[in-house]
Amino acid sequence: MKLFSWFVLGLLVTAGATLAAMQSALVIFTPDSLHWVAATGPAKGSWNAVMVGNPNSSGNAIIRVKMPDGYTNQPHYHSHAEYITVIQGALLFGMGDTVNKSNARVLPAGSFIVVPPGVHHWSVAKGDTIEQVGGEGPLTNIPVKQGM
């Protein structure tokens, strides 16, 4: 199965502060100081900002993902637990192997999600949305093969 790395899913702001405190230097970000990078590959159309760690290697990592209205994170799963906090906008969040908006749960800003390893899930941005995603790196999405 092809693994691809792209920035996804997050911890509460306080958890991010805790991880930052474990580092050797103080880390502070304000919304206007984030360095947003356009995503490529399957995540094309979203933008990512690394908060703590390296999401492409082992160890704790926290990123923010900015998505335009209607952006769809196709069905996937992870080998590690992931932690998502909706910072702005809302997510339509669902579980399973296909995107079915009628079965989605609407998660407004301030919502927090813990996705256990191996759980098939997907999301759709409702409005311009920012989520904070954290977990044990590398933060990888393993795509669900359609027709499984």
Q: Is 148 exposed, middle or buried (0-12, 13-18, 19+ CB in 10 A)?
A: exposed
User: In one letter, which amino acid is 2?
Assistant: K
The pTM assigned to this predicted structure is 0.80
Q: What backbone phi and psi angles, to 5 degrees, belong to 21?
A: -65, -25
> Domain segments of the chain: what residues?
4-24+35-54+63-143
Q: Which residues of the chain have pLDDT under 70?
A: 1-23, 146-148
Instruction: Compute the C-alpha angle 9/11/14, nearest 5°.
Output: 155
129 vs 47: CA distance, rounded Å = 11
Neighbouring C-alpha atoms within 13 Å toward the C-beta of 19: 18
- How far does Cα 145 stand from its chain's mean position? 20
Distance separating the N- and C-terminal Cα atoms of the chain? 13
CATH superfamily of the domain spanning 4-24+35-54+63-143? Jelly Rolls (2.60.120.10)
The H or E element that residue 25 is part of is: none
Question: What rounded mean pLDDT belongs to the chain?
Answer: 85
pLDDT tens-digit map of 59-94: 999 999 999 999 999 999 999 999 999 999 999 999
